[in-house]
Chain A
Amino acid sequence: MVSLKAEGFKNYKPYLYILPSLILIIIIYVYPLVLNVIQSFYRFSGGRGIFVGFDNYKYLILKDSLTRGAFLHNIQILLVIPILLVLSIFIAVLLSERIRFAKVYQALLYIPFIISIVVVGIVFSRLLRWDGIINFLLNKIGLGALIRDWLGDPKYALYSVMAVIIWRELAFGIVLFIAGIGNINQELYEASKIDGANWWQQLFHVTIPQLKSVISFYVIYNYMIVFAWIFTYVYVMTAGGPVNSTTILELQIFNFAFKKNMMGMASSLAILLFLMIFVFIYLQFRMRRVAMVESY
Chain B
Amino acid sequence: MAIHLIRPAVLVTAGTILLAMAGGPVHAQQSSPAPAATIPHTAKGKPDLSGVWITGALQLLIGEEEAAAYRKADAEAGRPMFRREPPPYTPVAEAKRQEYLARRGIDDPMARCLISGVPRITTRPLPFEIVQLPDRIIILYEAHHAFRIIPTDGRPHPPDIEPSYLGDSVGHWEGDTLVVDVIGFNTNTWLAGVGTIHSEKLHVTERYTRDTFGTVIYDVTIEDPEVFTKPWLQQEIFRLRPNERLREYECIENNEDLIRFEKLLQTEPIYTRPTVR
A and B co-occur in one complex: no
CB within 8 Å of A: which residues of B? Answer: none
CB within 8 Å of B: which residues of A? Answer: none
